[in-house]
């Protein structure tokens, strides 16, 4: 990894280089229903060749869009690589999305072909007219549908040679649709050049991780999300021989898969670690010896991370590691060296706990529009409260309003068929306006807020609070409301109301949110007596909420409501 190739590769070059360099190296592993199956890079190329042969028969031309909608599996990779090698543009969809939303994205992209995991989902999508000419169903292909075909029937027995892509580096590789916090999702145009530069920039920033051999990644975040796709799929392809991607069976089996497969690296969102800690805390009664031992382990472990441990701390650590920390790490497989964390920040107290237990988090920051990683913490300069340093080859600056601006090869080409949307976020000098308010200290980026006050839950879901608040205020029992939940598992509501029954207030709030997505429901609520006025500094003269001031004023009440389960209920 000392000598990086030129960054004018396509993603097909990335794949073919790995195949040629280590044909017998382990590439992928998955559970086929009865046992775990391994595939070498040479065998992966053969499978990609079959997908390429099938696509060649569909009368597609370079630049055409093709959709893929499935969970993480080897077929996703083979379809992606075959399509890219033919110069096609891959449109990934979330396999658990609403059928109408998937149909919208496919129509907006003008996709001609779709590979979908479950033909039953396609049956639901047929009610929404699409331009698709072919639908390839991995399972449950519907009969009597001229467009639909089973994957096994679509793939030829013999494949063709996987040749370098006909696409140029600045040609589109993929159209990735944003989650659409307001209005319809937008198609983010990412080129081969965008993604390859992000891959190589990350590897240059973190050679201690990405230059090592014999690593395994456990892949469980959706490949339709650019974080998993770039860091958990394309980077392992670029790494040294021996790097293998293991596809987890699913979130429900994730704990078992971590223990049985013992990965070295995962790409994760904070929600996973919230769940782990929730299980741990159940066995730590307040004031018990076990809790005190746990807290002592965290305290000394955090000092070790900060290089502030004294002699006594260093002497105690091997014992505490054996009794406490090693057991927690064993729940995550016992060999988890690095955790790439993105999507949302992990709560500071959880960062301290898990870091103190000997886990290494690489906090990163990015957006779909930036391929996605803008920055990452360096191992030699790891401040987990920040999102690290800008990826080499790119530049950042802070606008007068505190907004982070990004410029460089990772920035998208623009929004598909939306020049107005593109010009709204990429200015004449090529700076991409992220919408995030930041502070930069000692070249490290610290996220401080958002220009448009979007709440990001710990699982990465985004909610514009103003939309939810406006809906809740339709019920006149509420006098003032503010939705909270940044970095948490669920939304909470702080409200002023004459009604003092919080359970009823929660029911009435959610009644107004019936048309919102499930993750936008209120799970925690607190009623406060103090009205929010201009005089007490909680609203502006134009009657807008001062969110930070309200959160500061009622910080204790907010923390207390997230610990209760009596009002709205929680996990």
Residue 173: count other Cβ atoms within 10 Å of its Cβ: 27
* Residue 6, CA distances (Å) to 37, 109, 174, 193, 196 in order: 34, 31, 21, 11, 10
Q: Is the pLDDT assigned to residue 63 strictly greater than 90?
A: yes
Alpha-carbon distance of 207 to 376, in angstroms, equals 12
pLDDT in tens, 487-501: 899 999 999 998 999
Asked whether 395 and 201 are in contact (CB, 8 A), the reply is: no
Asked whether 193 and 107 are in contact (CB, 8 A), the reply is: no
Q: Is the pLDDT assigned to residue 182 strictly greater than 70?
A: no
Alpha-carbon distance of 322 to 304, in angstroms, equals 16
Query: Which domains does the chain show, CATH number per domain?
Result: 11-167 (3.40.50.980), 269-359 (no CATH), 455-563 (3.30.300.30)
SS3 assignment, position 401: coil
Residues 6 or more apart whose CB falls under 8 angstroms from that of 102 comprise 69, 93, 94, 121, 125
Q: What is the pLDDT of residue 2?
A: 38
Q: What is the pLDDT of residue 180?
A: 52
More confident residue, 185 or 409: 409
Q: What is the pLDDT of residue 1?
A: 37
pTM for the complete prediction? Answer: 0.83
* Size of the chain in residues: 571
pLDDT in tens, 427-466: 999 999 999 989 999 999 998 777 777 788 998 887 878 7
Asked whether 493 and 509 are in contact (CB, 8 A), the reply is: yes
Q: What is the pLDDT of residue 185?
A: 84
372: preceding bond cis by omega (within 30 degrees): yes
Using pLDDT thresholds of 50, 70 and 90, give the confidence band for residue 347. confident
Q: Is the pLDDT assigned to residue 6 strictly greater than 70?
A: no
Range in 195-209, 273-287, 309-323, 541-555 with the lowest mean pLDDT: 541-555
Q: What is the pLDDT of residue 3?
A: 46
Alpha-carbon distance of 107 to 77, in angstroms, equals 23
**499-505: Cβ within 8 A, 24+ apart:** 499/527, 500/527, 502/526, 502/527, 502/566, 502/567, 503/566, 503/567, 503/568, 505/477, 505/478, 505/567
Mean per-residue pLDDT, 382-403? 94
- The four Cα atoms 153, 158, 160, 162 give a dihedral, to 10 degrees, of 80
Mean per-residue pLDDT, 364-389? 94
Q: What is the pLDDT of residue 183?
A: 54
């Amino acid at each position: 990894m000392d000598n990086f190739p030129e960054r004018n590769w396509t993603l097909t070059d990335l794949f073919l280089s790995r195949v040629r360099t280590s044909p017998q190296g382990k590439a992928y592993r998955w559970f086929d229903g009865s046992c775990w199956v391994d595939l070498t890079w040479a065998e992966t190329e053969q499978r990609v060749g079959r997908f390429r042969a099938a696509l060649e028969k569909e009368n597609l031309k370079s630049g055409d869009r093709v959709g893929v909608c499935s969970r993480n599996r080897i077929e996703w990779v083979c379809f992606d690589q075959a399509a890219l090698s033919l110069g096609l543009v891959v449109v990934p969809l979330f396999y658990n999305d609403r059928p109408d939303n998937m149909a919208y994205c496919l129509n907006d992209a003008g996709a001609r072909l779709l590979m979908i995991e479950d033909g039953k989902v396609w049956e639901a999508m047929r009610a929404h007219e699409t331009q698709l000419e072919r639908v390839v169903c991995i399972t449950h292909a519907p009969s009597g549908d001229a467009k639909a075909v089973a994957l096994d029937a679509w793939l030829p027995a013999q494949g063709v040679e996987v040749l370098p892509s006909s696409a140029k580096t600045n040609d589109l590789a993929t159209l990735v649709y944003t989650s659409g916090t307001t209005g319809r999702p937008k198609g983010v145009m990412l080129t081969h050049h965008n993604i390859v530069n992000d891959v190589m920039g990350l590897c240059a920033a973190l050679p201690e991780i990405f230059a090592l051999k014999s690593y395994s990644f456990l892949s469980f975040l959706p490949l339709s999300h650019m974080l998993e796709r770039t860091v958990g799929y394309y980077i392992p392809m670029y790494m040294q021989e021996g790097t293998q991607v293991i596809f987890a069976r699913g979130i429900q089996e994730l704990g078992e898969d971590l223990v049985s497969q013992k990965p070295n690296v995962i790409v994760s969102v904070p929600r996973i670690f919230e769940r782990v800690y929730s299980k741990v805390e159940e066995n730590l009664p307040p004031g018990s010896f076990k809790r005190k031992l746990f807290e002592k382990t965290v305290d000394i472990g955090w000092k070790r991370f900060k290089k502030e441990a004294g002699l006594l701390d260093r002497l105690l650590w091997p014992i505490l590691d054996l009794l406490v920390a090693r057991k927690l790490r064993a729940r995550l497989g016992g060999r988890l060296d690095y955790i790439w964390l993105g999507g949302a920040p992990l709560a500071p107290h959880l960062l301290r706990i898990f870091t103190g237990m000997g886990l290494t988090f690489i906090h990163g920051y990015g957006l779909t529009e930036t391929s996605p990683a803008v920055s990452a913490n360096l191992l030699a300069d790891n401040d987990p409260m920040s999102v690290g340093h800008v990826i080499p080859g790119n530049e950042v600056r802070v606008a007068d309003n505190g907004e982070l601006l990004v410029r460089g090869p990772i920035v998208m080409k623009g929004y598909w068929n939306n020049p107005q949307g593109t010009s709204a976020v990429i200015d004449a000098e090529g700076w991409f306006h992220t919408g995030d308010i930041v502070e930069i200290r000692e070249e490290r980026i610290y996220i401080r807020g958002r220009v448009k006050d979007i709440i990001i839950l710990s699982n990465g879901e985004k909610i514009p609070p103003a939309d939810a608040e406006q809906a809740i205020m339709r019920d006149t029992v509420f006098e003032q409301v503010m939705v909270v939940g940044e970095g948490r598992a669920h939304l909470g509501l702080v409200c002023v109301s004459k009604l003092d029954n919080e359970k009823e207030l929660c029911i009435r709030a959610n009644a107004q949110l019936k048309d919102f997505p499930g993750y936008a429901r209120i799970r925690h609520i607190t009623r406060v007596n103090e009205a929010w006025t201009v005089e007490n500094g909680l609203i502006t003269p134009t009657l807008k909420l001062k969110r930070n001031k309200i959160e500061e004023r009622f910080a204790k009440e907010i923390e207390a409501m997230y610990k209760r389960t009596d009002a709205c209920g929680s996990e």
